[in-house]
Amino acid sequence: MGKPQTIYLYPMSCNLSIIGEDLDVDALDAKLGLPGFHKNYKGAPRYRTKPEKEKLPYSYMSTTVSEAGFYAFEQQVKDVIAYLQQHYDILKLVSGVKEVQYFNLDFGVRHAGKFRQGLYVDPELVRLAGELGMSIEVSMYSSGE
């Protein structure tokens, strides 16, 4: 399975996604008991506007863990650290679910279209994500400048 593409139904900031080809998202959602997760199922249309087209090859659940804006990466990181610390013991359960193939944080940020753009990632975020078995992704969106 290649890296899955989660379809976000809400504004992108930082989203946490749990994905697997054979993942029972209803059972995992019940086990975790965390609010705010959107679920989608293997075999469902990838795009609501084209239900007859491509189907999802995996199931996933995702939630927004920071609503800080595209230009507020540092605030996104602070929000995510607080979320991971608050729900650490519950999120630790995810690593024990063998059907989970991707457990990912995706930060959405805008960049100014310069040749080089750097982002500092707080070591506490790296530590928490590593202990939980999570990957970290930064989706860069051009500001059009």
Annotated domain spans of the chain:
14-142
Residue 9 in this model has a pLDDT that exceeds 50: no
Identify the pLDDT of residue 6: 46
Identify the pLDDT of residue 10: 42
Residue 113 in this model has a pLDDT that exceeds 70: no
Q: What is the rounded CA–CA span in Å between residue 135 and residue 126?
A: 9
Q: What is the pTM of this model?
A: 0.83
| 28-to-20, 24, 64, 133 alpha-carbon distances in Å | 11, 6, 17, 16
Of the chain, the percentage scoring pLDDT greater than 70 comes to 84
Tokens 């019940």, located at residue: 30
Q: What is the rounded CA–CA span in Å between residue 24 and residue 27?
A: 5
Identify the pLDDT of residue 117: 63
3-state SS track over 58-95: CEEEEEEEECCCCCCHHHHHHHHHHHHHHCHHHHHHHH
Identify the pLDDT of residue 24: 98
Identify the pLDDT of residue 41: 96
Q: What is the rounded CA–CA span in Å between residue 60 and residue 39?
A: 6
Edge-to-edge strand list for the sheet holding 59-66: 38-40, 59-66, 14-20, 102-111, 135-142
The model's pLDDT over 87-108, given as tens digits with 9 standing for 90+, comes to: 999 999 999 999 999 999 999 8
